[in-house]
Amino acid sequence: MDDGRSAMIGLRPAGACRALLAALDVSEGRRGRRKRDTTPDAIGMSLKRQLLEQAVLSDPEPEAFEAWLLERCLSSEAASTGAMRAMAQEVLTEWRLTAASVQFRDWLAAGAPSDDRTP
């Protein structure tokens, strides 16, 4: 019986983060059309983008990804430690979802389409 683990063979955080970067690009386009001040969103997304880009470059092992993210948080500037930790937690959650959900991987592979995207 397949418990979903076979789909995770060969899946690495770098590959998932590459797809998450593409989804972030799509999200950024929508953020600019919002009527509220999105400055806090931009700051968080910038930190998230840094983490995702570093993960793509570093290609950490799947079982060491959480520790790798923690290391990034501990080495960040004191002023952004809380924000960096929040974004690292989000990246870790998205990595776990990517590893566990074929539907989420398919959605990412399709370019992270959104219902609010104009045709």
Nearest to 93 by CA among 13, 35, 39, 10: 13
The pLDDT value given to residue 7: 42
- The reply to whether the predicted model has a pTM over 0.85 is no
The pLDDT value given to residue 98: 93
The pLDDT value given to residue 14: 94
Mean pLDDT, consecutive 10-residue stretches, the chain (119 aa), reads 41 92 76 59 86 96 96 76 90 94 90 67
The pLDDT value given to residue 60: 97
Half-sphere exposure in the Cβ direction for 94 (13 Å, CA): 24
**Domains of the chain, residue spans:** 10-109
In angstroms, what CA-CA distances link 60 with 43, 56, 68, 78? Answer: 25, 8, 7, 24
